[in-house]
Chain A
Amino acid sequence: MEDNGRKKMAIIASQGTLDWAYPPFVLASTAAAMNMEVWMFFTFYGLSLLKKKIEAKVAPATNPAMPMKMPFGPKGFQAINWPIPNIIAGNLPGFETVATSLMKKTFEKNGIATIEELRDACLEADVTMVGCTMTMGIFGLEKDDLIEETVFGGAAMFLEYAVGADIQLFI
């Protein structure tokens, strides 16, 4: 791999929920804005973040400590952390959709970027996005399902980059 003198970051994005989609895209877009060269390797559930249309949802059942906030009403009401018992979060039909919509509204009201916005910022800054071909096999995804910027590869391709990177993160 040729060295262009820039600092390098390598990220493995392995989770596909809305909340877990933020860390890799926030860090990758910021690193690119700081002149770093960035590779993101999307594997397992993370691969869904390369779909043309991102359908990431919050998964309350796997986040037992997740507080929920209401995006409307008086300030004091909005500040309340609503503890949601797992029995409800995990079993009530449609709860995931409600939680996702509440989180998206709360984020929007607070000036937080959407995942789409962050992914676009990464693409504009030439962040390399590698889709794990092994995962595509598992989930039955075709090249056409993913954004056209996707580079296809596997573990060896990622490691060959990561071995020379200054920052390596698994998310």
Chain B
Amino acid sequence: MSENQIDQELDCRGLKCPLPILRTKKAIDRMVTGQVLKMVATDPGAINDMKAWTSRTGNALVDSSQGDGEFIFYVRKK
């Protein structure tokens, strides 16, 4: 996912479950349909939690990557 397709960024580094999900939900609520949120987390639980959260809420997890102990998620708002 290229950086210029991102509408908003959210830093959840250092936060543990459930905070990355709660903050992501808050950020998505403030966005409009079709916009993309980039979220960065360090809690390894975020990988499966983000999958579950997007599948339950219908927002699309369009891309994700990891490296250097960081997990990056790109979510397109439903």
Contact = CB atoms under 8 A, between A and B. Distances in A.
A33 B22 CA distance: 6
Interface string B56-73: 110000000000000000
Contact of A35 (B17, B18, B56): B56
A33 B17 CA distance: 12
Given A111-B14, A111-B15, A112-B16, A29 B22 contact: yes
Interface residues of A, number: 12
B16 A121 contact: no
Given A33-B53, A34-B57, A35-B56, A121 B15 contact: no
Contacts of A26: 17-18
Interface string B1-41: 00000000000001111110110110000000000000000
Interface residues of B, number: 15
Contacts of B18: 26, 29-30, 33, 113, 118
Contacts, number: 34
Interface string A128-150: 00000000000000000000000
29 contacts: A26-B17, A26-B18, A29-B18, A29-B22, A30-B18, A30-B21, A33-B18, A33-B21, A33-B24, A33-B25, A33-B53, A34-B21, A34-B52, A34-B53, A34-B56, A34-B57, A35-B56, A35-B57, A110-B16, A111-B15, A111-B16, A111-B19, A112-B16, A112-B19, A113-B16, A113-B18, A113-B19, A113-B22, A118-B18
A34 B57 CA distance: 6
A112 B17 CA distance: 7
Interface of B: 14-19, 21-22, 24-25, 43, 52-53, 56-57
Given A29-B18, A112-B19, 15 more contacts: A26-B18, A29-B22, A30-B18, A33-B18, A33-B22, A33-B25, A34-B21, A110-B16, A111-B14, A111-B16, A111-B43, A112-B16, A113-B18, A113-B22, A121-B22
